[in-house]
């Protein structure tokens, strides 16, 4: 029991603080994107930065994602360490070439001679009726393509530590924050979006999963807001006598195979939960990884629960139907255990 | 003003309909979102981009349209859809997420699609422009005497799709009219911070097509310029680019604190609000009486109220219907 | 034994013939893309079409993929049935928004009211030192995103029948031809790229896998040029006393789960081979599908062999190292069976 | 002509080096590809885009460069890389896929990257332009008195990235010079079938920056125009757009039958080949003697031969090295 008064921050403020501290520490860090200046980022990831660092380092851009993300790549090649924000990941289609053919590949093309130290931040996820072009997660799409790390924080502490790691990393890092974990005042209230965050800078390593809740009967592996859903599901399951372990993968690239295998060796059962589209995405990859790493320890085939292969629909009942929720996670886990 | 009176009346009445519609949506949007604002909650959840103030751009184009003409619009689509005559009941029901909506509740307010009239919009900036070119290509190939109109914001004019679409339409002499709604802001980013030149109409020269600037947020000014552009397009003389200086009276989306626009900027917009000035002018010029104006306003209100009632009383789709319509 | 002299075509000519026959049959079909006119398509998919149908229906475009693919979408919405060619799939990054947010979603957004009958053709694959921006397959990327069918022919007969099905389909269809199966005179000679093709129009349904070679000990499931590699591997394996069944999936969306399960129920072992990047792609999806459909029939965990998660390198020894080949497939199959 | 003699000599000698390099690559490319042409076979496999005829565009820029300046080029990069002084041995070795190459054999001829001098290229049309803006941004931010030069083809000028890059550079007044190499064709598609206007330099007005057309495929003409643009950029006066009418003497890539260009078009190019006309002119103007020209040619030959020897004798990378360098 600690008597210290711990400082609580929302995930959004933790992200903004991480960026601010790194900008303070390293003059080469700058931020660019749409509405990241006066507005502070549509999701607040750059709140307060303009006032503090001025328009030379906090640069509002035209709606030219290919232009400014490519400019971030070029700036990274020439001595800066840019952070570029793609407002919603759903917009990747207008600028993917710079992301996957340039940002992610130049280091390789150069035989390791040149690095591209930059962070691409982007908001992901649905659940608030923003429809099919503003509600996707798409991390499976990025994790499939080589050369960029893929980071997905689920809570304030990790958000800060992962952001600092991302900025200090010499590789391109895609930092995907789920709108539902940010603790924004205008989104559905989420108590897990606020938590203790040390004031000083610290890092959370890229490539290490975290056990968000220990359990013995089944591993629920997931990322982002679905970590919260899984925690709620674990509560439901506990009431039903099932002890679920929740594994927050935190980064998809690198994927922490060891932590996954360790958990599965303990629980012997794996449910992979995803807010991305089901097919050709995260669920199959994580499940197959567990099979490859710990086949003999599995008592049942891994199960998966994800958005079915449909665009995210607008209307609330439709959208809620396609998203994973605590009840559907608990039901999947139960049927995985009880058949 | 050589504009037929019925066009002036139609423009005025449509402006009333649009404004009242946007006001109602604005109001209804707050239902279920207090005391705590939650974007996911209420009668109408999600993002909501309203076009109050931008009516002149939409209604000035409308009288020139003919059956079969196509329109593509943006994330801020209501004024254009209403002006074109998209079914108001179905459109409203879509915004309410109901099964009677244009998209059975799947699309929502940024994804309104109609075949008759042909209307589509997109939540991705500038990405309605290429599809307008495609409509134009189809009209040309099929020998239909139709035009496609692409609406987009001044923020969209710095997106690659703008350039590719203008070049394609000019190169292939497609019957397309590009209409830039310049409300001076893309969310919080002023045009001066996004666009290297003052007027996008000047960019027409990069494609060898006419570029016209409409400096007044005035249905008549739009009517005249759009009329000529549409005539050209229909006559096979190729595309045009029009930029209209217009006003977004409210925030970018509902819930936007709009702190990035100065108070005097906002006051100036209110002072010149076309929903006041345009009917006033028609009355002053003796084209309409005060009571005719009131009748138009009442009719507009009635239609919108009926559409909202339709939407409210329509059922939600069944949850499992989410799985339908991925493929034909 | 047939005494008929069968007509032999290369895959490339079979594709061009399919398009020509459909253009003949249906006036609404037209083709657009870069160098598809006078040049006949860089990979010959539109050979001869300009002469036959003229520049109104065979339209060379500027290098404006967002523009012309978007125009194809718009034309499909307004009564035409366009075929647009994205010269190499590697270029998807400049136009993905039109593909995945528009072409693939408009039908859904409209609640089924509007359809988008178009085909997007594109060349995929490596093996000839065209390096990291011209050698990818990326089908996993497209199959992950809902709303478009994904077709990958491996031989001339299928190429024609699948193309005709694609053109007649009322949905957007992505038709990905591997350069190595086309039978082009300037590519490495591939005897399997030539085969019997009926002159008259016929269809091969979208969503049905084909058993390219029957076997009893292991199923090798794959697509495109890797079907040929797998057939060669099956020869090697036969010499070693192993009977491999080669399953040509032919379309990834829809995925023929029945055929996959049927094969696995027979062989009890599955090796998934892919020329796409390994992680978050086809191999895990197909493997997990088999697990879901036929877990009890599997005698071992499914295995996968794919391009490791690196950009496709240029230099021959490097590229050959990352691509699957008959030897590595045979080795994977052998170790799957013999442990 | 107020051009310092050493610049003229350097331009001439670099042209020799480029042309001889491209000729040698062209020759070596056929090694192992006969009697049957197989793109995957031989000493140099894969696609090969050579720039014979386009030397003036590259060499005209070069004398104005200073240490630290950055260049981005295209799928057709050799002439530019050589003019900038990218290490010829390492560049050649990369084209041969050797472990001593710029990218240790990973990149190949469309992916040549060098830090000193700062050079990069891309196989994706127009996508080198945004990175040039980024280099300019870094120079500005870091207070370096450097410029970034972005080369691209006339075909690239219809790609969205062109528009976004020009607008960004103009808006932020970046030290970037955009140089369009107009060889009138994008593979088989003539400029008239791709571009709605005749000269891309006219598109500069869409961004409020200078646009200059160089109508002669002449190092001196390029030198003068590029000099002014680079001066402006270095002085903080912002970007410029230059279009140079140049000639691609050979096919789009090696193996291209080039049937889409008329014989007289091709003959006319050969007749005005700058590799002949430029040295001739220097001799005629008394700036160089015939024997000096020959010495330059010989030196160029020697350097290229040495680079090719270096490449030939270098080892291939180990197959497993494919797994290295995905991440730093
Ligand atoms: C490609 C893309 N980038 C960014 C956004 C986010 N966004 C939505 S609306 C908007 C501003 C658009 O400004 P403008 O085009 O002027 O239209 P307005 O909102 O003023 O009507 C932005 C940046 C988007 N939807 N698509
Ligand atoms: C985005 C994209 N689309 C298409 C291609 C295929 N492609 C390679 S070179 C080329 C023609 C380029 O023409 P231009 O820009 O004029 O350069 P040039 O080859 O004449 O030097 C095309 C279409 C590509 N590499 N990238
Ligand atoms: Mg605007
Ligand atoms: Mg060219």
pLDDT tens digits, residue range C83-122? 999 999 999 999 999 999 999 999 999 999 999 999 999 9
Average pLDDT of the residues in D105-130:
98
Tokens of A298: 């599995």
Interchain contact, A74 vs D127, CB within 8 Å? no
User: Is B46's Cβ below 8 Å from some Cβ in C?
Assistant: no
CA of A29 to the centre of ligand 2 (A): 34
CA of C84 to the centre of ligand 4 (A): 22
Interchain contact, B107 vs C170, CB within 8 Å? no
Tokens of A204: 């959370």
Q: Which residues of C touch A114 (CB under 8 A)?
A: none
How close does chain A come to B73, measured CA to CA in Å?
Answer: 15
| Residue C210 and residue C248 in contact, taking contact as beta carbons nearer than 8 Å | yes
Q: Whose CA is nearest to atom 13 of ligand 1?
A: B186
Going through chain B in order, the beta strands assigned E by DSSP cover 70-73, 118-121, 148-153, 176-182, 185-186, 189-190, 211-214, 240-245
How close does chain B come to D171, measured CA to CA in Å?
Answer: 5
SS3 breakdown of chain B: % helix, strand, coil, rounded to 5? 50, 10, 40
- Residue D114 DSSP label: B
- Residue C92 DSSP label: G
| Residue D161 and residue D130 in contact, taking contact as beta carbons nearer than 8 Å | yes
| Residue B93 and residue B85 in contact, taking contact as beta carbons nearer than 8 Å | no
Residue B172's SS3 state is coil
**Counting beta carbons within 10 angstroms of the beta carbon of residue C54, is it exposed (0 to 12), middle (13 to 18) or buried (19 or more)?**
exposed
The CA dihedral of C224, C228, C231, C235, to the nearest 10 degrees, is -160
Say if residue C5's pLDDT is above 80. no
Torsion sign over Cα C156, C161, C165, C167 = positive
Least Cα distance to C127 among C306, C316, C329 occurs for C316
Q: Which residues of A touch B125 (CB under 8 A)?
A: 63, 91, 94
Considering only the beta carbons, identify the residue of B110, B158, B316 that sits closest to A133.
Answer: B110
Residues with CB under 5 Å of ion ligand 4 are: D 153-155, 183, 186
Neighbouring C-alpha atoms within 13 Å toward the C-beta of D251: 12
How close does chain A come to B125, measured CA to CA in Å?
Answer: 8
* Residue-level pLDDT at D33: 96
Pairing of strands A194-196, A8-10: antiparallel
User: Is D158's Cβ below 8 Å from some Cβ in B?
Assistant: yes
CB atoms within 10 A of CB D270: 11
Q: Which are the contacts of D145, defined by CB distance < 8 A and separation ≥ 6?
A: D66, D139, D234
Q: Which residues of C touch D97 (CB under 8 A)?
A: 129, 314-318
**Counting beta carbons within 10 angstroms of the beta carbon of residue A202, is it exposed (0 to 12), middle (13 to 18) or buried (19 or more)?**
middle
How close does chain B come to A36, measured CA to CA in Å?
Answer: 9
| Residue A30 and residue A80 in contact, taking contact as beta carbons nearer than 8 Å | yes
CA of D23 to the centre of ligand 1 (A): 50
Residue C3 pLDDT class (50, 70, 90 cuts): low
Tell me: the pLDDT tens digits for B166-188?
999 999 999 999 999 999 999 99
Interchain contact, D195 vs B167, CB within 8 Å? yes
Tell me: the pLDDT tens digits for D231-280?
999 999 999 999 999 999 999 999 999 999 999 999 999 999 999 999 99
Interchain contact, C108 vs A313, CB within 8 Å? yes
- Ligand nearest to the Cα of C63, by number: 2
Distance linking the first and last C-alpha atoms of chain D: 49
Interchain contact, C108 vs A310, CB within 8 Å? yes
Tell me: the pLDDT tens digits for B197-237?
999 999 999 999 999 999 999 999 999 999 999 999 999 99
Distance CA C176, CA C138 (A): 10
Tell me: the pLDDT tens digits for C162-214?
999 999 999 999 999 999 999 999 999 999 999 999 999 999 999 999 999 99
CA of C121 to the centre of ligand 2 (A): 18
Distance CA C337, CA C329 (A): 12
Q: Which residues of B touch C150 (CB under 8 A)?
A: none
User: Is B195's Cβ below 8 Å from some Cβ in D?
Assistant: yes
Residue D186's SS3 state is strand
Residue A85's SS3 state is strand
CA of B298 to the centre of ligand 3 (A): 30
Distance CA A241, CA C13 (A): 63
> How far from B313 is each of A53, A92, B17, C213, D181, CA to CA, in Å?
52, 38, 21, 59, 62
Say if residue C4's pLDDT is above 90. no
Residues of chain B with pLDDT under 70: 1
Tell me: the pLDDT tens digits for D177-199?
999 999 999 999 999 999 999 99
Counting every residue, how long is chain B? 328
Interchain contact, D107 vs A71, CB within 8 Å? no
Distance CA B164, CA C66 (A): 7
Report the neighbours of B using a cutoff of 3 or more CB pairs below 8 angstroms.
Answer: A, C, D
Distance CA C60, CA D185 (A): 12
Tokens of A328: 């559907």
Q: Which residues of A touch D106 (CB under 8 A)?
A: 108-111
Distance linking the first and last C-alpha atoms of chain A: 41
The CA dihedral of A171, A176, A182, A186, to the nearest 10 degrees, is 130
Q: Which are the contacts of A282, defined by CB distance < 8 A and separation ≥ 6?
A: A139, A140, A143, A223, A252, A272, A274, A276, A306, C280
CA of D74 to the centre of ligand 2 (A): 9
Report the neighbours of D using a cutoff of 3 or more CB pairs below 8 angstroms.
Answer: A, B, C
Tell me the β-bridge partners of A214. none
CB atoms within 10 A of CB A53: 19
**Counting beta carbons within 10 angstroms of the beta carbon of residue D175, is it exposed (0 to 12), middle (13 to 18) or buried (19 or more)?**
buried
Distance CA D74, CA D128 (A): 7
> How far from A284 is each of A305, B323, C147, C285, C290, CA to CA, in Å?
10, 20, 20, 5, 11
Peptide bond into D117 cis (omega under 30): yes
Looking only at Cα atoms, what is the longest distance across chain B?
57
Q: Is the CB of B79 under 6 A from ligand 1?
A: no
Tokens of B112: 């309104």
* Residue-level pLDDT at A3: 55
Q: How far is CA B328 from the centre of its chain?
A: 29
Q: Which residues of B touch C112 (CB under 8 A)?
A: 104, 324-325, 328
| Residue A18 and residue A163 in contact, taking contact as beta carbons nearer than 8 Å | yes
* Residue-level pLDDT at D2: 80
Q: Which residues of C touch A109 (CB under 8 A)?
A: 131-132, 311
Q: Please give the number of the atom of ligand 2 that sits closest to the Cα of D159.
A: 1
**Interface test mutation site (partner D, options A31, A54, A111, A112, max chain D beta carbons within 10 A):** A111
D residues 285-314 lying closer than 8 A (beta carbon) to A? none
Q: Which are the contacts of B220, defined by CB distance < 8 A and separation ≥ 6?
A: B1, B3, B8, B60
| Residue C146 and residue B326 in contact, taking contact as beta carbons nearer than 8 Å | yes
Distance CA C152, CA C162 (A): 9
CA of B186 to the centre of ligand 1 (A): 6
| Residue B160 and residue C66 in contact, taking contact as beta carbons nearer than 8 Å | yes
Pocket test for ligand 1, best of A33, A63, A99 (most atoms within 8 A of CB): A63
Going through chain D in order, the beta strands assigned E by DSSP cover 70-73, 118-121, 148-153, 176-182, 185-186, 189-190, 211-214, 240-245
Among all residues of C, which ones are annotated catalytic? 134
Tokens of A109: 């093309």
Residue D79 pLDDT class (50, 70, 90 cuts): very high
Q: Is the CB of A63 under 6 A from ligand 1?
A: yes
Pairing of strands B70-73, B118-121: parallel
Distance CA A288, CA A270 (A): 11
pTM of the model: 0.98
Counting every residue, how long is chain A? 339
CB-defined contacts C:D, below 8 A: 152
Tokens of D22: 């491209």
Pairing of strands B189-190, B185-186: antiparallel
Interchain contact, A144 vs C143, CB within 8 Å? no
Interchain contact, C80 vs B138, CB within 8 Å? yes
Interchain contact, D158 vs C189, CB within 8 Å? no
**Counting beta carbons within 10 angstroms of the beta carbon of residue A36, is it exposed (0 to 12), middle (13 to 18) or buried (19 or more)?**
buried
Q: Please give the number of the atom of ligand 1 that sits closest to the Cα of B191.
A: 16
Average pLDDT of the residues in D92-116:
98
Q: Please give the number of the atom of ligand 2 that sits closest to the Cα of D154.
A: 16
Distance CA B92, CA B100 (A): 9
By a Cβ cutoff of 8 Å, what residues of chain C touch chain B?
Answer: 30, 56-57, 61-62, 64, 66-80, 82, 94, 97-98, 101-102, 105-115, 117, 146-147, 149, 170-171
Tokens of A168: 């200090």
CB atoms within 10 A of CB A199: 10
Q: Where are the alpha helices (DSSP H) in chain A?
A: 11-25, 49-53, 65-77, 96, 106-109, 139-143, 156-168, 225-239, 257-267, 282-294, 316-322, 326-338
Residues of chain A with pLDDT under 50: 1
Q: Is the CB of B155 under 6 A from ligand 1?
A: yes
User: Is A285's Cβ below 8 Å from some Cβ in C?
Assistant: yes
Distance CA B242, CA B157 (A): 12
Tell me: the pLDDT tens digits for D22-53?
999 999 999 999 999 999 999 999 999 999 99
Residue with structure tokens 């958000």?
A159
Pairing of strands D148-153, D70-73: parallel
């Amino acid at each position: 029991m600690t008597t210290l008064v711990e400082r609580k921050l929302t995930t959004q403020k933790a992200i903004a603080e991480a960026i601010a501290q790194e900008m303070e520490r390293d003059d080469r860090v700058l931020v660019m994107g749409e509405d990241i200046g006066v507005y502070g980022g549509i999701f607040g990831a750059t709140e307060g930065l303009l006032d503090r660092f001025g328009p030379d380092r906090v640069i509002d851009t035209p709606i030219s994602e290919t232009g400014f993300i490519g400019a971030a790549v070029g700036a990274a090649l020439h001595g800066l360490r840019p952070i570029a924000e793609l407002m919603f990941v759903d917009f990747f289609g207008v600028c993917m070439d710079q992301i996957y053919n340039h940002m992610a590949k130049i280091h390789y093309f150069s035989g390791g001679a040149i690095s591209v130290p930059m962070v691409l931040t982007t908001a992901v996820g649905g659940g608030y009726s923003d429809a099919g072009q503003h509600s996707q997660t798409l991390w499976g799409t990025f994790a499939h393509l080589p050369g960029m790390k893929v980071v997905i924080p689920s809570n304030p502490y990790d958000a800060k530590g992962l952001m600092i790691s991302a900025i200090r990393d010499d590789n391109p890092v895609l930092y995907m924050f789920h709108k539902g974990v940010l603790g924004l005042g205008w989104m559905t209230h989420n108590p897990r979006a606020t938590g203790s965050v040390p004031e000083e800078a610290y890092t959370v390593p890229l490539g290490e999963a975290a056990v968000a809740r220990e359990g013995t009967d089944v591993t629920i592996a997931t990322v982002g807001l679905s970590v919260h859903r899984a925690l709620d599901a674990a509560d439901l399951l506990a009431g039903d006598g099932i002890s679920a372990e929740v594994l927050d993968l935190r980064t998809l690239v690198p994927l922490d195979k060891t932590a996954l295998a360790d958990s599965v060796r303990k629980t012997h059962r794996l449910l992979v939960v995803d807010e991305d589209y089901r097919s050709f995405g995260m669920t199959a990859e994580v499940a197959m990884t567990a099979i490859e790493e710990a086949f003999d320890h599995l008592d049942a085939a891994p199960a998966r629960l994800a958005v079915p292969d449909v665009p995210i629909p607008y209307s609330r009942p439709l959208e809620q139907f396609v998203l994973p929720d605590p009840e559907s996670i608990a039901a999947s886990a139960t049927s995985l255990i009880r058949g | 003003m050589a504009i037929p009176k019925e066009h002036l009346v139609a423009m005025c009445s449509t402006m009333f309909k649009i404004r009242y519609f946007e006001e109602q949506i604005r109001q209804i949007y707050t239902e279920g979102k207090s005391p705590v604002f939650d974007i996911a909650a209420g009668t109408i959840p999600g993002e909501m981009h309203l076009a109050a103030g931008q009516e002149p751009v939409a209604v000035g184009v409308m009288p020139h349209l003919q059956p079969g003409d196509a329109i593509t619009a943006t994330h801020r689509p209501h004024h254009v859809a209403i002006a074109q005559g998209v079914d108001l009941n179905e459109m409203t029901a879509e915004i309410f997420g109901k099964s009677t909506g244009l998209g059975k509740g799947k699309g929502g307010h940024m994804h309104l699609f109609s075949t008759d009239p042909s209307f589509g919009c997109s939540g991705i900036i500038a990405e309605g422009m290429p599809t307008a070119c495609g409509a134009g290509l189809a009209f040309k190939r099929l020998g239909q005497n139709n035009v496609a109109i692409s609406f987009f914001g001044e923020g969209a004019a710095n997106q690659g799709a703008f350039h590719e679409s203008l070049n394609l339409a000019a190169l292939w002499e497609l019957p397309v009219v590009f209409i830039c709604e310049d409300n001076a802001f893309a969310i919080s980013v002023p045009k001066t911070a996004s666009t290297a030149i003052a007027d996008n109409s000047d960019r027409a020269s990069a494609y060898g097509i006419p570029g016209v600037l409409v400096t007044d947020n005035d249905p008549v000014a739009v009517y005249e310029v759009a009329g000529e552009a549409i005539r050209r397009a229909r006559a096979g003389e190729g595309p045009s680019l029009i930029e209209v200086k217009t006003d977004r009276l409210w925030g970018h989306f509902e819930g936007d604190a709009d702190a990035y626009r100065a108070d005097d900027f906002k006051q100036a917009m209110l002072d010149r609000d076309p929903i006041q000035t345009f009917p006033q002018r028609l009355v002053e010029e003796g084209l309409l009486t005060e009571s005719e104006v009131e009748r138009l306003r009442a009719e507009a209100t009635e239609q919108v109220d009926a559409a909202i009632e339709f939407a409210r009383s329509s059922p939600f789709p069944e949850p499992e219907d989410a799985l339908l319509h991925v493929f034909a």
